[in-house]
Structure 1
């Protein structure tokens, strides 16, 4: 009975004719539209494309490199020609680089440049360079590639965060719009009541049943309620404009919902289901993109720290190269050569690598504390949203009781007025009280669904929208 009384005031005549009316706008339609066309989400999607481009660029560190060098001595004591083509292939295998090439040196050379001369068809060579210390376990190429892979995950979590926020705000704007529609219906219903009884009051005044000021008081009530309708209409238009920011057409442009698309009532509050607080906290910690993003950023920074620590080691590179002359040589001797080299590079002060390692280590520690702070913030948000849901459910129950009592008082006062035992002033007061109670119930219901939108955002989920 209480629920029936609650919805009596909300099931008011529609503002537009049902014939040819547009379909009712649901929350799912609004959220789906926002997820497809909201500019903030489209911008976040482009950040994912940026991360994909950065991954491709980091993969370019392993691209095959072709080099060519040509030199001609066209004047001087020795005239010769040198051509050199080489190919290098970096790999992720211990930072090993394979190389090969062909060179040709013909003409006259001084004795100290004798190695520049090759057979008539040139010299082929192949070799490998293997880091033994620095750049063996990790180098700039592999570190950048790994960080770019983590970067894709970071961009994905950024998109998830933008998606949660857009969904939450779209839900807020939708329920604000529905509440504004309920406010207009209540105001229109109160105005209709005052207008419908105006004729009867005038007839009773003419018959001498009630004094003239009762008709004047009812006229005042009509004007007051007309003002409420104007204010409610303005609020409905304002909330519709705000909703259009998230509800967009096929071209991605904002579209304005009409009054005919308003639902007649809020969904049944009983339809809202939530987890218990402990389970909700665990779900939130597992799903919230902020926590996951910080974890991935920590991995990115840890990779940088490992690289910078590696750069403090001496560079000891082993190189092996084999070369073979091709074709006829000037001295009729074909050279087959094998070279083994050991290259050592030791920065004596290590300030560059040490400083960068210090920066990376500090960032690792910073992200650790940021992650702890984020997890604590999530725990507080979970507790807060459960507190809000509990409070608004209590408020909803109390406003339902208030509406039921206000409706009974309004009906009783109208009966007393019809019997000549009351005045129109008290009737107006009772009707206004009933309308205010209906609005309070509608506002409490809207608060419940807004809190549920917060609940979904806090848990990091977008499922189970209520229509």
Structure 2
């Protein structure tokens, strides 16, 4: 099993975050056994309730003793069918043999106790947070930005300098050595301090290289007064690297929201695909059970072989539909394995036994307070935050361009003192020396700075327009997802009503089939229609949970917190595969009278 998510309270306060109450976490979830809508026992009971309606027109060439309805004959041969089921699987033409076709059908009730806990949405999202490579990749942005920030501070590192130069040949032989430290200051200046010594004979035009016997100590400083004082390219690089570090977490949140949306979509596809697979298995079971009864009836000479052949065709068609459902279920399970990972971070395809028995409970949700939720969503969504950081970064470039309009005007100072015995008779190096002054430079046209101001100003306006559009898109997204959720609730409700009506209709037509009033072709149409309605209800429930997830993601609520609340919901009582409660029907006499009225309706 994957890493289990542990319940915790949701720290985000929002109307949508309060949608769900607290309920116990469901356990032991494997889809339950299919139920036969028209089992042999139900047909037998119908015949018992209305013996008069259990008789049909005799077959051509049959004796009066053999004139019995399908339901009456089923009551006679029921014990044979049960005995054959107990003896072992019936491997006949048109029937599924588990040894021949490995469909790995949904586990039965007696195996559920060994299935363990079902796979909840919170388990998938917890595994996603812990091990999904795309999220791990996004988390590394923090380290990357931290490294870039440290690198940008490298411009202000203190530098140690040393040199040793010799001229051992020629007329002017001399030896010079020196060492010192230097660094750039935060305000655009430059500081240096060092010691040097020069001995030997020096060219008259290089007398500054000569020092007294103990050498010379020197300090120097350069400080910009206009351009480069308030801001320079190096400080802009530091500030922008800091902004990139601030942008790392919003990008992580953005990746989490995006990948969580993908994982949630695949999870509900997996749950619905499992439910559809069970629905197709139930539909196939109806034809298989009926085929067993037809086998006995044809062998006893009570039924025409054409009915058996038609039923075998239905078995093959429904088996093909089951195989398609199995194909889709396995494909979705493989895809879910990308997001569900084990303790080592490797993809893990979920086991079939981890399927939940039912969807969680669906309850109507109150409409959103759009203005309040929009303001809250804008503060939580990473997109506006990233755009604000991008604006600040561009503003730094524009501030630097404005500063570049100013001329270079630097204050320069240098002080030095020689030590030891004089190097010359004039002792021209023994006094303390001080140099101060200014240096100025400016490009006349200053086109580089003016062009940069123009481009950065336009880029800021561009990002600002993009930010306004992002706010508008968030508002539309909230409206769309809220409307989608509200209507999805109604769709589930109406589809549930349709399924209940389809089930009752199928039961009534089952009665008519057992009474010989309709043929197998008509009954197949009703069974197929019921199956389609059942699948539509499964899809409607999946769509509801997807709409809820998309609304939560639009509000930028923590996906794991929201998944925990979904996982704590009780199981839904909406009818579906493994949860079909047959509605009570009138007695056989009333059903027969109602059928006669139906047949007599023009």
- Normalised by the length of structure 1, the TM-score is 0.91
Out of 377, 383, 391, the position equivalent to 1:298 is 391
1:352 and 2:448 aligned: yes
Q: Is the 8 A contact 2:224 2:408 kept in 1?
A: yes
Secondary structure at the residue paired with 2:412?
A: strand
Alignment equivalent of 1:90, drawn from 184, 188, 194 = 184
- Separation in structure 1 between the aligned mates of residue 264 and residue 113 of structure 2, nearest angstrom: 28
Two-structure CA RMSD over aligned residues (Å): 2.3
Alignment of 1:227 onto 2:323? no
Q: Tell me which residue corresponds to 2:287.
A: 194
Contact 1:98/1:129 (8 A) holds in 2: yes
CA deviation profile, 1:107-138 (whole Å, cap 9, x unmatched)? 22344433322222211122332211001110
Please state how far the C-alpha of 1:211 moved relative to its aligned partner.
4.8
User: Could you tell which deviates more after superposition, 32-41 or 445-454?
Assistant: 32-41
SS in 1 for 2:183: strand
Deviation at 1:202, TM superposition (A): 4.4
For residue 219 of structure 1, report the CA deviation from its aligned partner: 2.6
Contact in 2 for aligned 1:11/1:265 (Cα 8 Å): no
Q: 2:309 aligns with which of 216, 219, 231?
A: 216
* Equivalent residues of 2:367, 2:482 under 8 A apart: no
3-state secondary structure, aligned to 1:76 = coil
> Which aligned pairs between 1:392-431 and structure 2 lie closer than 5 A?
392-431=488-527
Aligned residue in 1 for 2:359 = 266
Give the CA deviation at 1:434: 1.9
User: Which SS does the other structure have where 1:99 is aligned?
Assistant: strand
1:417-439 per-residue CA deviation (whole Å, 9 max, x = no partner) reads 33333333333222222221111
For 1:329 and 1:136, the matched residues in 2 are separated by 41
> Aligned runs of 1:32-51 on 2, under 5 Å?
32-51=126-145
1:15 matched to 2:106? The reply is yes
What is the distance in 2 between the residues matched to 1:392 and 1:278?
Answer: 23
1:325 aligns with 2:418: yes
Q: Residue deviations 1:212-233, cap 9 Å, x none?
A: 4443333332222211111111
Pair 1:339 & 2:432 matched: no
Aligned to 2:8: none
**Alpha-carbon shift at residue 51 of structure 1 (Å):** 1.8
1:81 to 172, 175, 186: 175
Please give the alpha-carbon distance, in whole angstroms, between the structure 1 residues aligned to 2:357 and 2:365.
19
Gaps of 5+ in 1: 1-9
Question: Can you give the 5+ residue segments of structure 2 that lack an aligned partner in the other structure?
Answer: 1-30, 35-104, 568-602
Deviation per CA, 1:125-153: give whole Å up to 9, x if none: 22332211001110112111000000112
Tell me which residue corresponds to 2:329.
236
Structure 1 or 2, whichever has the larger Rg, is 2
Q: Secondary structure at the match of 1:359?
A: helix
Contact 2:225–2:409, Cα closer than 8 Å, also in 1: yes
Task: State how far apart, in whole Å, the 1-side matches of 2:365 and 2:175 are.
Answer: 84
1:382 deviates by 1.7
Q: Quick one: distance in 2 between partners of 1:392 and 1:172?
A: 16
Give SS of 1:88's match: strand
What secondary structure is seen at the aligned counterpart in 2 of 1:347? coil
User: Following superposition of structure 1 onto structure 2, how do residues 36-185 of structure 1 map, counting pairs within 5 Å?
Assistant: 36-92=130-186, 94-185=187-278
Deviation at 1:157, TM superposition (A): 2.2
Distance 1:285 1:363, change over 3 A: same
Quote the offset at 1:374 in angstroms. 1.6
Query: Is 1:436 the counterpart of 2:527 in the alignment?
Result: no
Say which SS state the counterpart of residue 128 (structure 2) adopts.
Answer: helix
Give the Cα–Cα distance (whole angstroms) in 2 for the partners of residues 304 and 312 of structure 1: 13
CA distance in 2, matches of 1:272, 1:42: 35
User: Could you tell me how far apart the structure 1 residues matched to 2:361 and 2:369 are?
Assistant: 21
TM-score for the superposition, normalised by structure 2: 0.71
- Larger relative helix fraction: 1
Q: In 2, distance between residues paired with 1:12 and 1:337?
A: 101
CA–CA distance in 2 between the matches of 1:50 and 1:306? 26
- Secondary structure (helix, strand or coil) at the match of 2:112 reads coil
CA separation in 1, counterparts of 2:402 and 2:307?
90
Deviation at 1:234, TM superposition (A): 0.6
Q: Assess, with a 3 A threshold, how the Cα gap between structure 1 residues 62 and 162 changes in structure 2: closer, same or farther.
A: same
In structure 1, how many angstroms separate the alpha carbons of the residues matched to 2:138 and 2:400? Answer: 30
Task: Tell whether the 8 Å contact from 2:492 to 2:540 is kept in structure 1 after alignment.
Answer: yes
